């Protein structure tokens, strides 16, 4: 039987985003069978994958690098010996099954040849049949060489990471090294339910439907015998040692996320231009912020005051939170952070709040429009969409007073260069008609009605986008707005 692999694994194997493969499937250049791709079809579509994958260690390093794009804790991602051994054992069994299958086919082929030899007296059709069989067998061997190599490559990736599929959502993510299922799920952009991240609260309980997990650290929370019997484990204390299917609670909306009060520590304050501060902070390890990308939080400083700011980072890294704060003289928190605050000072965070979040159930590609510091919320949404890796295409329009005011221009350019499904369009402050023309020009030849629009801007631009959506008969629920 032709070897099939999931869309997520196929994307990793040939080094592209899932969205790129989805585009090929839509264009009829690749076909799927029950959501999976035949390995040989993938190799025909990406013949260079063979060359790229000649050094699998490099590829694994690349995957680890990508995984640590958000969380720099690299050492934790390397599989420990026990997890590695368990994965190799599981793969060994699978390889043994495949080998048994191959042996049976070879035996069958020999039997067929013997049958044909017995009928050798008839020089007609049977001779031709024998010749055909010889050629077909040789063909199988040649094809086999190609597929075997990719099989080896894919098997190697499988040892280094396990694929997790969550039901009922169908979300997928990879568990790298010895990281916990919870860490991996959050890094993959899922809004999993959890609390302490440390084995105390039991909120991260998940049910293992198939596959194997292994407990990686002690937990104080006690699962009942009935729960254990049903396959429940704690996501924050277990890693996956084979591909797994998990039943888990995921936040469906902002109302599923509780309001939290957390003391956070300042790690860095940057001043990319005269108008904005970028404040990087860190939560305690056992009290991380559960939030959805695009939400906001209140930051308070004793004896100074408080302010309400967008969280400009992805929930996939719930310990390292970033805020972009406009240097407004009327804002005491901004003034204090710019002039007096130091690294390691504490801030009091309360949040999250807000409903400007990704509609994960929408099948459409994404258009992001940010005006000035509206980029803060949009950045969180983009990083979340990247972590989820489900959008076929993303286009960012960032409108600013002048070109120097795209205060994270290099980051946007890096996304543009590194991701084949991401396009960055910096714009100087323009008439709304020009913005609409720019959008139409970039989306062509696609129908603008087949996109979701996320806009964080001033009231004038928001009104223009409402007009744009109405004039092109785009359903209103595809426009998501947040005022700055």
List of residues contacting ligand FES (CB under 6 A): 194-197, 199-204, 221, 234, 236
The answer to whether 380 touches 309, Cβ cutoff 8 Å, is no
Angle between helices 432-443 and 459-471 (to 10 degrees): 50
Please identify, using beta-carbon distances, which residue of 5 and 262 lies nearer to ligand FES: 262
DSSP state of 311: B
Q: How far is the CB of 166 from ligand FES (least distance, A)?
A: 16
How many helices, marked H, and strands, marked E, lie in the chain?
A: 14, 21
Which residue lies nearer to ligand FES by CB, 164 or 461? Answer: 164
Phi and psi dihedrals of 288, rounded to 5? Answer: -90, 165
The whole-angstrom separation of Cα 369 and Cα 245 is: 36
CB 312 → ligand FES: shortest distance, Å? 25
Query: Which residue lies nearer to ligand FES by CB, 318 or 389?
Result: 318
**In the complex, least distance from residue 173 CB atom to ligand FES, rounded to whole angstroms:** 17
Q: Least CB distance from residue 217 to ligand FES, whole Å?
A: 10
CB of 213 to ligand FES, least distance (A): 13
Strand 452-457 versus strand 366-371 pairing type: parallel
Between 45 and 201, CB nearer to ligand FES:
201
CB of 179 to ligand FES, least distance (A): 14
Q: What is the 3-state secondary structure (H, E, C) of 352-412?
A: EECCCCCCCCCCCCEEEEEEHHHHHHHHHHHHHHHHHCCCCCEEEEEEECCHHHCCCHHHH
3-state secondary structure 92-114: HHHHHHHHHHHHHHHHHHHHHHH
Least distance (Å) from ligand FES to the CB of residue 211? 19
Cα–Cα dist 217/235, whole Å: 11
Residue 238: beta bridge partners? 215
Which residue lies nearer to ligand FES by CB, 8 or 197?
197
Identity of the residue, 189 or 354, whose beta carbon is nearer to ligand FES in the bound complex: 189
- Residue 204 and residue 227: Cα distance in Å, rounded? 13
- Which residue number, 222 or 441, has a Cβ lying nearer to ligand FES? 222
Q: How far is the CB of 219 from ligand FES (least distance, A)?
A: 6
Q: Quote the least distance from Cβ 483 to ligand FES, whole Å.
A: 35
Tell me whether residue 235 or residue 365 sits nearer to ligand FES (CB atom).
235
Distance, CA of 130 to chain centre: 51
Sequence length of the chain is 484
Cα-atom radius of gyration of the chain, to the nearest Å? 27
Q: Select from 210, 199, 204 the least CA-distant residue to 182.
A: 204
Cα end-to-end span (Å), the chain = 56
Considering beta carbons, is residue 231 or 305 the nearer one to ligand FES? 231
247 contacts: CB under 8 Å, gap ≥ 6: 166, 167, 168, 206, 207, 209
Whether the Cβ atoms of residue 411 and residue 438 lie closer than 8 Å to each other: no
In the block, residue with structure tokens 């609390």: 195
What is the smallest separation between the CB atom of 357 and ligand FES, expressed in angstroms?
A: 22
Complex with ligand FES: residue 59 or 290, whichever CB lies closer: 290
């Amino acid at each position: 039987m032709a070897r099939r692999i999931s869309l997520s694994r196929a994307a990793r194997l040939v080094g592209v985003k899932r969205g790129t493969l989805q585009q090929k499937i839509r264009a009829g250049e690749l076909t799927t069978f029950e959501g999976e791709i035949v390995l040989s079809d993938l190799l025909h579509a990406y013949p260079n994958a063979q060359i790229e994958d000649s050094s699998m260690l490099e590829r694994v390093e690349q995957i680890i690098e990508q995984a640590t794009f958000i969380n720099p804790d690299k050492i934790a991602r390397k599989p420990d010996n026990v997890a590695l051994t368990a994965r190799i054992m599981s793969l060994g069994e699978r390889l043994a099954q495949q080998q048994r299958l191959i042996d049976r086919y070879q035996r069958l082929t020999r039997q067929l040849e013997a049958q044909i030899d017995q009928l050798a007296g008839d020089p007609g059709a049977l001779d031709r049949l024998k010749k055909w069989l010889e050629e077909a067998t040789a063909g199988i061997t040649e094809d086999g060489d190609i597929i075997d190599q990719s099989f080896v490559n894919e098997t190697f990736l499988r040892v280094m990471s396990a694929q997790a599929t969550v039901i009922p959502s169908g979300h997928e993510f990879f568990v790298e090294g010895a990281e916990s299922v919870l860490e991996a799920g959050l890094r993959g952009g899922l809004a999993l339910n959890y609390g302490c991240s440390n084995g105390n609260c039991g909120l991260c309980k998940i049910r293992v439907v198939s596959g194997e997990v292994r407990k990686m650290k002690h937990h104080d929370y006690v699962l009942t015998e009935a729960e254990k019997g049903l396959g429940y484990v704690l996501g924050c204390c277990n890693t996956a040692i084979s591909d797994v299917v998990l039943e888990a609670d995921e936040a469906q909306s902002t109302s599923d996320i509780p309001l939290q009060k957390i003391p956070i520590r300042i790690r860095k304050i940057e001043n990319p231009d005269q108008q904005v501060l970028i404040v990087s902070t860190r939560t305690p390890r056992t009290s991380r912020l559960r939030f959805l990308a695009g939400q906001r939080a209140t930051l308070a400083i004793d004896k100074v005051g408080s302010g309400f700011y967008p969280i400009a980072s992805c929930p996939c890294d719930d310990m390292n939170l970033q805020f972009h704060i406009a240097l407004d003289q009327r804002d005491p928190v901004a003034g204090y952070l710019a002039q007096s605050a130091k690294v390691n000072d504490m801030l009091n965070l309360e949040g999250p709040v807000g409903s400007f979040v990704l509609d994960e159930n929408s099948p459409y590609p994404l258009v992001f429009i940010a005006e000035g510091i509206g980029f803060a919320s949009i950045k969180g949404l983009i990083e979340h969409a990247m972590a989820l890796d489900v959008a076929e295409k993303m286009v960012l329009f960032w409108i600013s007073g002048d070109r120097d005011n795209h205060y994270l221009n290099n980051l946007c350019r890096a996304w543009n260069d590194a991701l084949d499904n991401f396009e960055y369009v910096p714009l100087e402050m323009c008439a709304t008609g020009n913005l609409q023309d720019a959008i139409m020009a970039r989306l062509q030849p696609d129908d603008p009605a087949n996109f979701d629009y996320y806009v964080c801007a001033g009231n004038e631009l928001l009104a223009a986008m409402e007009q744009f959506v109405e004039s092109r008969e785009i359903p209103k629920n595809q426009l998501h707005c947040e005022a700055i």
